[in-house]
Structure 1
Amino acid sequence: MRLAVLDVGSNAAHLHVVDARPGGPPQSVFRLKAPTLLADSVDDDGALSDDAVDRLVSAVTETVDASRRHAVTDLIPLATATIRDATNVEEIRHRVREAAGIELRSLSGEDEARVTFLAVRRWLDRSAGPVLLLDIGGATAEIAAGTGELPDVAVSLPLGAARITRTMLPCHPARPRDVAAVHRHVLRSVRAHAARVDGYTHKGGFARGDGAARGGGTALDGYARPGGTARPIATSKTFKQLARVAGADGRLTLAGLRDWIPRLAAMRPEERAELPGVAASRSRQLLAGAIIAAAMMEALDITHVDVCPWALREGLLLRRITELSTP
């Protein structure tokens, strides 16, 4: 069967076409990304501007047309938080319906976290044991934790990189007081929910395992849960870019983020865009992403995360394949 997911977010509409069969991973056929650039186009009343809606409709129409050219039989269209939370979302859906012939759907932030967790679990395999997941989007950030294919805990917070840039980081280069204010805000917001995932961090009172007894490992290594050791995993374009800039080999450390945050703060967006793996469309919000990532890790006592290449889009495809193969 030929499936596709269309993920319409604050930076772009991403189309991913795959061939799928029950029991096997989806095989990529085609990808297309059409810019939406919605991050700086939210009015004071929470509505997307007319120009932003025009860009969004154009991007969706382009990607839907491409899906039809590739004979997609089942298209999963998803509008993420920037569109879902817009006060003119009904107008947006109507215009997309009229122009592209599809109905944009949305998940709650918690459901997005659950679907992303499914993708991470499939990428890792069940034998990897418990997982603690962090995800930073344009409008929201998600935390999920669990031992199975679906998380035991899923939290969504209004801490997206584009949202924080727009509301709390007006200047680039950024003022130290603004950087500090963002860090405090994220730290306070995440700590308010940290008790829900305490069982997946060393604060939760895990019995120490051999790794901790030897003195090695990280804040999560060596703290045993039934079925294995909790593994901190991050997804999203923000974490991928930060890992390219401040990490190595798909791993991002809190120490690396702390080193890079003042350097990113001192840069103009066009200077950040010259860093490896950083797109010009995301360079302005890269600093916010770094501060959010560091504060989330600090609040949860995580010293590193491994970056997973699968995220929400892959989770939606995997879930749909399971649905279609279930009698």
Structure 2
Amino acid sequence: MMRTTECEKVALRVDAAVEMPSTPRAGREFGSKNGFNGESRRGESEVGRTVHRIEGPAAAVLDVGSFSARLVVLEPGGSPIDPALTHQTRLRLDRELDADGRLSKCGIAAIAKAVANGMDCAREHGVKDVFPLATSSIRDAVNSREAVREVARETGVELRFLSGRREAELTYVGARRWYGAAGGPLLVLDIGGGTVELSAGAGEQATFARSLPLGARSVTRDWLPAEPPVRSKHVSALRDHVLEEVASALGDVKAELAEHRVVGCSKVLRQLARLAGDRPGKARELHLDDVRAWIPRLSAMPFARRAQLPGISRQRAQQALGGAVVAEALLTVAGGKMTICPWSTRDGLLLTLLDQLTDATGKHRSRPAA
């Protein structure tokens, strides 16, 4: 049983992460290190701009993942580009999962603290209804029910899970709203921590959606050695496995997807694009040759060295190689190139909730990004 003092240390880290004043969001670049789709530095969180107290209905999601619990609030007519309110508490659940995939008592306590912080922020700003979304790091834990039960006991908030297929559908919604109808048919790829989501369609909703247990955290744990350097045989075995799984998932529709625009929607893919040389504030593409060239280099690097590379954050350095190998396999199957989209599952969920508000209030739908 873990000692109380160790859990207190985790709780203190979470407390430290929310001791920041409100800061304006104006002028932040797409993909910037501390922007809407970026990451807080160690020990930080941020409370985004609110131009007024939110009095009426709003779409709100508290997205609890491996590395953060992030609250995002949109008002009717709003957009994830310029949310009414954001709040983030940093987590490190990757450190709180044992080899069997069980969350530690300290990890569960940290989740409860982060959820309480996010919900307190929502209430302070007049937000009444929040969708408390727990991602695969909690959903796929061996003791996920215990975690949900304990968080509910401590906070009164029952975390909710989405199926992998539903995550894929919502990621597609996010990508479709980003590109609009003019984007044409889309094949949307999302590498998460626990799973990979594949979705496709030509309209507002996906007509194809699959989820595979090939996330960067999962494949790192299951296929790669605990410490670098990583031998080529391990990389080859993982690559072959991912190629087989993705080809099987797309098998019945692959021919139909040949003319679809390939879009990547995840932090793993954004970080790889940054590593390959793209710059914040620019439209991004990720190419197979670039990813393939980096895999041997990442294989040889210690985690600390990976964390010094452009686009690779310290908390994701350990799973950077696994994410790159999965991305290489996806690019191989999908034609060798993808465009990076800043919106993903959370944004698709927010926009879906906002549409439901629109149906209820009669106010304008959320404006498209493009």
Instruction: Identify whether the pair has TM-score above 0.5, normalized to the shorter chain.
Output: yes
- Asked if 1:297 corresponds to 2:331, the answer is yes
Question: Aligned match of 1:106 in 153, 161, 183?
Answer: 161
Question: Aligned match of 2:242 in 157, 179, 186?
Answer: 186
Measure, in 2, the Cα distance between the counterparts of 1:52 and 1:175.
32
Measure, in 2, the Cα distance between the counterparts of 1:48 and 1:155.
26
Measure, in 2, the Cα distance between the counterparts of 1:83 and 1:237.
18
Secondary structure of the residue aligned to 2:116 is: helix
- Asked if 1:59 corresponds to 2:92, the answer is no
> Amino acid of the residue matched to residue 311 of structure 1?
S
The C-alpha deviation readout for 1:286-308, integer Å capped at 9, x for no partner, is: 1111100111221x242111111
Q: Answer whether contact 2:136 2:195 (CA < 8 A) is retained.
A: yes
Measure, in 2, the Cα distance between the counterparts of 1:71 and 1:64.
11
The C-alpha deviation readout for 1:235-286, integer Å capped at 9, x for no partner, is: 1110110110015241100111001111111111111111123221111111
> Amino acid of the residue matched to residue 83 of structure 2?
S
The equivalent residue for 1:233 is: 263
The equivalent residue for 2:88 is: 33
Measure, in 2, the Cα distance between the counterparts of 1:254 and 1:200.
21
Measure, in 1, the Cα distance between the counterparts of 2:88 and 2:236.
34
Secondary structure of the residue aligned to 1:28 is: coil
- Asked if 1:310 corresponds to 2:343, the answer is yes
More strand by share: 1
Percent of aligned pairs sharing the same letter? 41
Q: Answer whether contact 2:262 2:334 (CA < 8 A) is retained.
A: no
Question: Aligned match of 1:87 in 142, 147, 160?
Answer: 142
C-alpha displacement at 1:16, in angstroms?
Answer: 1.5
**CA-atom RMSD, angstroms?**
1.7
- Asked if 1:167 corresponds to 2:201, the answer is no
- Asked if 1:279 corresponds to 2:313, the answer is yes
The equivalent residue for 1:141 is: 196
Secondary structure of the residue aligned to 1:310 is: coil
1:289 and 1:324, CA in 2 relative to 1: closer, same or farther beyond 3 A? same
1:3 and 1:51, CA in 2 relative to 1: closer, same or farther beyond 3 A? same
Alignment of 1:202-221 (within 5 A): 202=258
C-alpha displacement at 1:83, in angstroms?
Answer: 1.2
The equivalent residue for 2:36 is: none
C-alpha displacement at 1:326, in angstroms?
Answer: 1.4
> Amino acid of the residue matched to residue 178 of structure 1?
H
Secondary structure of the residue aligned to 1:233 is: strand
Question: Aligned match of 2:286 in 245, 252, 258?
Answer: 252
The equivalent residue for 1:215 is: none
> Amino acid of the residue matched to residue 142 of structure 1?
E
> Amino acid of the residue matched to residue 121 of structure 1?
R
The C-alpha deviation readout for 1:54-97, integer Å capped at 9, x for no partner, is: 22222222222222222212211111122112221221111111
- Asked if 1:71 corresponds to 2:105, the answer is no
Q: Answer whether contact 1:153 1:196 (CA < 8 A) is retained.
A: no
TM-score by length of structure 2 reads 0.76
Q: Is the deviation greater in 47-56 or in 97-106?
A: 47-56
C-alpha displacement at 1:182, in angstroms?
Answer: 1.3
C-alpha displacement at 1:310, in angstroms?
Answer: 0.7
C-alpha displacement at 1:116, in angstroms?
Answer: 0.9
C-alpha displacement at 1:46, in angstroms?
Answer: 3.5
> Amino acid of the residue matched to residue 309 of structure 1?
P
1:197 and 1:138, CA in 2 relative to 1: closer, same or farther beyond 3 A? same
Unaligned runs of 5+ in 1: 203-222, 224-229
> Amino acid of the residue matched to residue 243 of structure 1?
A
Secondary structure of the residue aligned to 1:326 is: helix
Q: Answer whether contact 1:39 1:163 (CA < 8 A) is retained.
A: no
TM-score by length of structure 1 reads 0.86
Q: Answer whether contact 2:58 2:357 (CA < 8 A) is retained.
A: no
The equivalent residue for 1:49 is: 104
1:80 and 1:277, CA in 2 relative to 1: closer, same or farther beyond 3 A? same
Measure, in 2, the Cα distance between the counterparts of 1:173 and 1:32.
37
Q: Answer whether contact 2:76 2:357 (CA < 8 A) is retained.
A: no
Q: Answer whether contact 1:42 1:48 (CA < 8 A) is retained.
A: yes
- Asked if 1:12 corresponds to 2:68, the answer is yes
Q: Answer whether contact 2:168 2:211 (CA < 8 A) is retained.
A: yes
Number of equivalent positions:
298
Q: Answer whether contact 2:58 2:354 (CA < 8 A) is retained.
A: no
Measure, in 1, the Cα distance between the counterparts of 2:357 and 2:334.
40
Unaligned runs of 5+ in 2: 1-56, 361-370
C-alpha displacement at 1:138, in angstroms?
Answer: 0.6
Measure, in 1, the Cα distance between the counterparts of 2:221 and 2:101.
12
Measure, in 2, the Cα distance between the counterparts of 1:16 and 1:135.
20
